[in-house]
Amino acid sequence: MSPPLSHGGGLVDRLARVERARGLAARLTDLPQSDIERAEATDVMNTATGAFSPLEDYLGRAARG
Tell me, yes or no, whether 31 lies in a domain.
Answer: yes
Tell me, yes or no, whether 61 lies in a domain.
Answer: no
* pLDDT confidence band for 56 (50 / 70 / 90): confident
Question: Which domain does 37 fall in, by range?
Answer: 1-53
Tell me, yes or no, whether 62 lies in a domain.
Answer: no
Largest CA distance in the chain: 48
Question: How high is the pLDDT of residue 63?
Answer: 64
Tell me, yes or no, whether 14 lies in a domain.
Answer: yes
* pLDDT confidence band for 35 (50 / 70 / 90): very high
Mean of per-residue pLDDT scores for the chain: 80
Counting the structural domains of the chain, the total is 1
Average pLDDT on 18-35 reads 88
Report yes or no on whether pTM surpasses 0.75: no
CA proximity to 43, closest of 57, 28, 64:
57
For 30-47, b where at least 16 C-beta lie within 10 A, e where not — what string? eeeeeeeeeeeeeeeeeb
What single letter denotes the amino acid at residue 16? A
